[in-house]
Amino acid sequence: MFASLTSGLDFQSKALVLRAERQRTIASNIANADTPGYVARDIDFKAAMASATSGSSIAASKSTSTTSGVTHPGHIPLAENGVGSLGNGSKLGYAAQSQPSMDGNSVDLDRERANFVDNSVRYEATLRFINGQSKTILSAIQGQ
């Protein structure tokens, strides 16, 4: 019975972790706005959330060579928690370059700032939802 009460919290906690990771990625893009050759990264939140909430095992999906990023036996696979992957097995994507630059940097500061604010608002909303649901569960337990 308690598991059915906390299932919503589990979903929201996964969303909160993904939002925090996306915020870190966007902040990294902003910090490297003047770095020559830096390619902006982003997280496909919908795909990452689907991966995080699916019951499938990540280890089972890594058995094929295409999902591990290795196309040739001599290639070195990407680390699970290194650059380019998230802890839940989702991969970081490259943001589409909207403004060509001479130094090869693909960071669009206007887009990154907008993404940062949007993600911050959604992070705060998720946090408030978790707090509200926790208070509801606590008041139900206390019988109020």
Distance CA 89, CA 45 (A): 13
Tell me the per-residue pLDDT of 24-55, one tens digit each, with 9 for 90 and over: 999 999 999 999 989 999 999 899 999 888 85
- Residue 12 confidence (pLDDT) above 60: yes
* DSSP summary character for residue 114: H
Residue-wise DSSP of 49-69: HHHHHS-S-HHHHTTSTTTTT
Distance CA 63, CA 104 (A): 35
Tell me the per-residue pLDDT of 62-101, one tens digit each, with 9 for 90 and over: 333 344 555 667 766 654 444 455 555 557 888 777 777 7
- Report the chain's mean pLDDT, rounded to a whole number: 79
Is the entire prediction scored with pTM above 0.85?
no
